[in-house]
Structure 1
Amino acid sequence: MHCSLKLVQAVLIILLLVTPLSLQCGPGRGSGRRRRPRKLTPLVFKQHVPNVSENTIGASGLSDGAITKEDAKFKDLVSNENSNIEFKDEERTGADRMMSERCKEKLNMLAISVMNQWPGVKLRVTEAWDEDGTHSKDSLHYEGRAVDITTSDKDRAKYGMLARLAVESGFDWVYYESRNHIHCSVKSDSSVAIKIGGCFPGYGMVTTQRGTVSMDRLAVGDMVLSVGSDGQLEFSEVITFLDRNTGETALFYTIGTEDGRTITLTAKHLIYASDSNSTTDVFDNSVVVYAETVKPGQYLLYHDDNVEYLKASRVTMVTSRTERGVYAPLTHSGTIVVDGVVASCYAVINNANIAHLVFAPIRGLHDLSAHAPWLTQLSSAVNTPDPKGVHRYAKALYNFASLFLSRSVLYVP
């Protein structure tokens, strides 16, 4: 574990140095003219964003129940020790530092925005987790999912902009509640709505050299049908799983085509689609898009068992539902054919070339370990998932990328 963390840290430093160059080589505008910063509009008193109730799916969602120090869920709360944030802590118990992991993440992002907006001014937290029962019955303060904030100089003239900065930092609900503070809250860490990974359900079928198997029976080392960079079908080795959790619940989209093909995958998983039914170079004429953006009338790539090349089939329906069990195999090629349909192995970043590039260290370590036995243990440590089944490198990489890539490229819930 210690070795894997050191490797991840080293890789991230390297990626920081090469990312600007790699982005220039990818599709799109590259390093062209810098965009002008978007003008931010302060919230007005009693305005909240989004314009729905706090406890709805479109905002922070329903309460999961109050958390007390005696509750088993108390261990899921974390203490925010960010020195760039002032904590009122009038109870002198450290309660104002206690919050959910997601709340801490968004708060720390906001702290940076505040310092950039007003040099010399810090973010100030007046209330976070409530252990005294001073809020309404279903308040998210009892779960560490809500914070009340001001600026360190307590300048009320700044509070409207502070609320806007909180929105930009990714809080799921922001309310200019009082002349004295801004109220912010987040979704539950266990909510399916904040799942950042891209996965397939366990019943998705793949073709391996040992036969057709379901996704939940696929194993590292299996050679699975995929598509190479030249657009030709090939078998590619499964080198790791970016996510694998039989108990995880996620929101899945099922996309059906006129040829009777259906594929089920999570909203932010990448899939190959096109707007025309090209009969030649179907792979080159397709682009990777988030599954949730696919619409009837577009075309997906699929493999017909009777031929050795890819075809395009028109999408006729798209539905969504929650499923239990998530699986995200990573092949050497970065692609995989699931239920006969061609998909990427990547998610949450809408450029498969960039995604494939930044996972080069994982492929390289895997290849080297085959020739250097002493690297096998290190490779295994890096590829060991965290307790929730998420690949440690992928999770660290996502957190790193969220600091540098815009939301037009990287999905940030």
Structure 2
Amino acid sequence: CPRSRYMTVELESGELRLMRELEIGDRVRVSPSKFSEVFLFSHRSETCQPVSFIRIETARGQFISLSPKHLLMVNGILRRAETVKVGDMVSSMENNSSENIFDSVIRISLVEDRSLYNPHTLDGGIVVNGIQASCYTGHVPFRLAHLALALDRALYSITGSSVTGSALHDSPPLLIRALWIIPSVLYG
């Protein structure tokens, strides 16, 4: 999950918004040329226990802080934040730009925060502080995680409401595990 206090996303209007200020229905940049609606939050908390994040800084001065298992585009593929190394290339872009740039990682550090936000877009990706990331973590394979939320995405597209809603961030861990285990049993 991205660390929210200093994380911004670009809305389709070009406005930058703090992640903690995002709302369901906001259209955010997910790639250099695409925007997608936020349809649910799997985490949305300002009062959680301290959480460790990996802060990744780039040669162009951009940074992103994510939970160790959160996925982002590194060297052209999705990888867990905990596997990123100095010298790796992350996919980044300037605000209001449709150009994708590969930016070299120059520094990696651990930081702590008490806020935890993870908006999910219909697309499954999100650009945070100009760096392209996934809405998913590496706890479950990306395709399986995206499949697990397929019905919710479809119903949101029709009704404008998420079936899962706040269940992912307000429910006990058992429910969260069940949401990921059921599709893995059905689809291997």
> What range is the shorter-chain TM-score in?
0.7 to 0.9
> 3-state SS of the aligned residue for 2:46?
strand
Deviation at residue 388 of structure 1 after TM alignment: 4.1
2:58 maps to 257
1:201 maps to 4
The answer to whether structure 1 residue 358 and structure 2 residue 148 are counterparts is yes
Measured in 1, the distance between the counterparts of 2:173 and 2:151 equals 14
Deviation at residue 243 of structure 1 after TM alignment: 1.0
Deviation at residue 351 of structure 1 after TM alignment: 3.6
Q: In 2, are the aligned partners of 1:383 and 1:392 still within 8 Å (CA)?
A: no
Choose between structure 1 and 2 for higher RCO, CA contacts under 8 A separated by at least 6 residues: 2
> 3-state SS of the aligned residue for 2:42?
strand
Alignment of 1:216-227 (within 5 A): 216-227=20-31
Alignment of 1:301-380 (within 5 A): 301-305=91-95, 307-349=97-139, 351-370=141-160, 376=161, 379=162
Q: In 2, are the aligned partners of 1:385 and 1:392 still within 8 Å (CA)?
A: no
Number of aligned residues = 186
Measured in 1, the distance between the counterparts of 2:8 and 2:173 equals 22
The residue type equivalent to 2:143 in the other structure is N
Deviation at residue 250 of structure 1 after TM alignment: 1.2
Provide structure 2 residue ranges, at least 5 long, that are not aligned to the other structure: none
1:243 maps to 43
| TM-score under structure 2 length normalisation | 0.86
Deviation at residue 270 of structure 1 after TM alignment: 0.3
Provide structure 1 residue ranges, at least 5 long, that are not aligned to the other structure: 1-197, 275-285, 371-375, 407-413
Deviation at residue 404 of structure 1 after TM alignment: 8.6
Q: Label 1:254 to 1:324 Cα distance change in 2 as closer, same or farther (>3 A).
A: same
Bigger Cα Rg: 1
Deviation at residue 386 of structure 1 after TM alignment: 5.9
For residues 125-182 of structure 1, give each alpha carbon's deviation from its aligned partner in whole angstroms, at most 9, with x where no partner exists.
xxxxxxxxxxxxxxxxxxxxxxxxxxxxxxxxxxxxxxxxxxxxxxxxxxxxxxxxxx
> 3-state SS of the aligned residue for 1:367?
helix
RMSD: 2.7
Q: Label 1:394 to 1:296 Cα distance change in 2 as closer, same or farther (>3 A).
A: same
State the percentage of identical aligned residues.
28
Q: Label 1:400 to 1:333 Cα distance change in 2 as closer, same or farther (>3 A).
A: same
Measured in 2, the distance between the counterparts of 1:288 and 1:387 equals 24
Measured in 1, the distance between the counterparts of 2:107 and 2:187 equals 32
2:33 maps to 233
Measured in 2, the distance between the counterparts of 1:387 and 1:242 equals 5
Q: In 2, are the aligned partners of 1:386 and 1:392 still within 8 Å (CA)?
A: no
Structure holding more helix per residue: 1
Q: In 2, are the aligned partners of 1:270 and 1:345 still within 8 Å (CA)?
A: yes
Measured in 1, the distance between the counterparts of 2:111 and 2:89 equals 22
